[in-house]
């Protein structure tokens, strides 16, 4: 192949069948990849030949090909290698098994036959796949979820599986600290560490990408799943109850099923958290009517799940990819900051030198479609009703003296007075909640826990004398009279 007219620092790589090119980006660097020949995908999302796909914000990903391909990479990242040792054949077989469940479920829902001349009585009906993915930290759970979802929507059957994220350390389609769920209609593209599950519509008026998702979001408010397991369990059950009501229930959508991504806490932890860990797994199994548990790369956990659940559902151990990167706390803190910045300002990745900006795409869309213009506004402190769930520092029950009880419940909404110097609201992320139930007869103290999230704002300034505060938000809608919940995330707009 001729290398003339290629951008500077561009390499041409030929991948063998069932191999992948893996890369890791440093901070403030970007990478462009173009498929020249053959077919390739990134975590199940197919690449279109001739397009430059742009990656940034410390993205770590892999280009996989089933039958071989040629790609252009510009520039060369600091960490890159290709590998023929992948778990993709196992993941592909798993997709086929889940696809059979969808087809049989659709058959039972619609009364159609699988093939001409085949009657319904000759085919065994099946529930749609409702999959819980668990495993230790840095095992590739989110990647597996994306691959399975992307293969599902690419199957050409009109599927729209529900992807659920109950890992607050990830944040899904919102900001870190959120639990969320979305019906996926198009492949989820990977392009940034801050958007692990692809792009979602924020509250900002913007030119929405064709594959933008509209998630159902609840606010947990912390990165650590162990901080308030009772609150997390309640939110998981809330999501489960709302899925049936929120998403379109055509037979094809019902048969598509759901896939649930989970935090590392579900896999292991101190002995003191074992009961809480099992309660959260049980909450997921019940709330989402799980019939399949996938255990990524841990034999002990697989045996534990089979011992507990084998009589009621299927437990499958799946291999961990050798390309999984170990992520430290410093990296995760940077990603959290990137996620909040992305929520406010959108994604703006500068293309590498030599590649025209009009030829590069982020998630298959023009880069400009992902840029937002947030609004900074000053409001009266009394315009917003702010709550904190539990106390600022909530010690686990096991750390309390024997016989002692909490003065404040983990589930108790506590009003926060922003006019006090010790409110702790400066630079905090606030979740703006949906309105309360208009029927006052149904009001209860903990109702704020069951409200969905309408959007997020950050308190960037407090004037205690004037009783005013400055808010950064991704749109210009008024927040007067709204209810907000504060967590433990801080963010400085730098």
Q: 20: annotated binding-site residue?
A: yes
Q: Is 447 annotated as a binding residue?
A: no
34 is in an annotated binding site: no
* 139 in a known ligand binding site: yes
Query: Which residues lie across from 361 on neighbouring strands?
Result: 53, 366
124 is in an annotated binding site: no
The answer to whether 141 is annotated as binding is yes
User: Residue 410's closest CA among 230, 162, 161, 145?
Assistant: 230
Residue 143: CA atoms inside 13 Å, Cβ hemisphere, count?
A: 29
The tokens for 175 are 């900001």
Rounded Cα gap, residues 113 and 110, in angstroms:
9
Contact present, 480 and 385 (Cβ < 8 Å)? no
List CB contacts of 112: < 8 A, sequence separation 6 or more. 106, 120
Any known ligand binding at 138? Answer: yes
Residue 296 CB partners (closer than 8 Å, separation 6+): 133, 134, 135, 136, 139, 140, 141, 144, 318, 319, 320
**CA–CA distance, 152 with 340 (Å, rounded to integer):** 29
Can you say which residues are annotated as belonging to the binding site for ATP? 20, 60, 138-143
Can you say which residues are annotated as belonging to the binding site? 20, 60, 138-143
């Amino acid at each position: 192949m001729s290398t003339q007219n290629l951008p500077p620092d561009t390499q041409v790589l030929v991948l063998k069948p069932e191999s992948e090119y893996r890369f890791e980006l440093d901070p403030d660097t970007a990478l462009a990849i173009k498929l020249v020949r053959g077919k390739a995908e990134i975590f199940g999302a197919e690449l279109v030949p001739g397009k430059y796909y742009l990656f940034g914000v410390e993205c770590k990903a892999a280009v996989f090909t089933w039958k071989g391909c040629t790609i252009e990479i510009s520039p060369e990242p600091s960490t890159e290698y290709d590998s023929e040792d992948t778990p993709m054949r196992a993941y592909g077989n798993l997709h086929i098994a889940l696809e059979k469940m969808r087809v049989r479920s659709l058959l039972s829902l619609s009364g159609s036959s699988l093939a001409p001349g085949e009657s319904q009585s000759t085919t065994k009906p099946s529930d749609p796949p409702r999959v819980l993915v668990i495993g230790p930290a840095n095992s590739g759970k989110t990647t597996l979820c994306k691959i399975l979802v992307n293969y599902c929507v690419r199957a050409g059957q009109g599927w729209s599986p529900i992807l659920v994220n109950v890992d607050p350390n990830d944040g899904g389609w919102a900001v870190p600290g959120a639990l969320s769920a979305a019906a996926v209609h198009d492949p989820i593209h990977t392009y940034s560490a801050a958007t692990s599950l692809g792009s979602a519509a924020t509250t900002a008026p913007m030119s929405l990408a064709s594959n933008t998702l509209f998630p159902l979001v609840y606010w947990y408010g912390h990165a650590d799943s162990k901080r308030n397991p009772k609150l997390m369990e309640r939110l998981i059950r809330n999501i489960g109850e709302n899925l049936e009501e929120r998403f379109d229930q055509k037979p094809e959508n019902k048969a598509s099923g759901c896939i649930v991504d989970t935090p590392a806490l579900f896999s292991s932890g101190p002995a003191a958290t074992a009961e809480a860990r099992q309660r959260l797994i049980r909450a997921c199994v019940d709330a989402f009517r799980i019939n399949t548990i996938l255990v990524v790369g841990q034999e002990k956990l697989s045996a534990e799940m089979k011992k507990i659940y084998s009589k009621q559902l299927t437990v499958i151990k799946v291999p961990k990819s050798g390309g999984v990167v170990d992520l430290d706390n410093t990296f995760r803190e940077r990603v959290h900051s990137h996620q909040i910045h992305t929520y406010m300002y959108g994604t703006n990745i500068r293309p590498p030198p030599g590649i025209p900006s009009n030829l590069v795409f982020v998630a298959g869309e023009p880069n400009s479609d992902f840029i937002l213009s947030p609004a900074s506004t000053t409001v009266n402190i009394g315009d917003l009703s702010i709550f904190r769930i539990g106390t600022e520092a909530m010690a686990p029950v096991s750390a309390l003296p024997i016989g002692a009880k909490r003065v404040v419940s983990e589930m108790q909404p506590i009003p926060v007075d922003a006019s006090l110097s010790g409110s702790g609201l400066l630079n905090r992320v606030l979740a703006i909640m949906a309105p309360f139930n208009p029927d006052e007869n149904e009001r209860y103290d903990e109702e704020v826990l069951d409200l969905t999230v309408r959007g997020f704002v950050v308190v960037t300034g407090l004037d205690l004398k004037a009783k005013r505060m400055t808010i950064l938000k991704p749109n210009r809608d008024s927040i007067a009279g709204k209810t907000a919940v504060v967590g433990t995330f801080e963010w400085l707009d730098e």
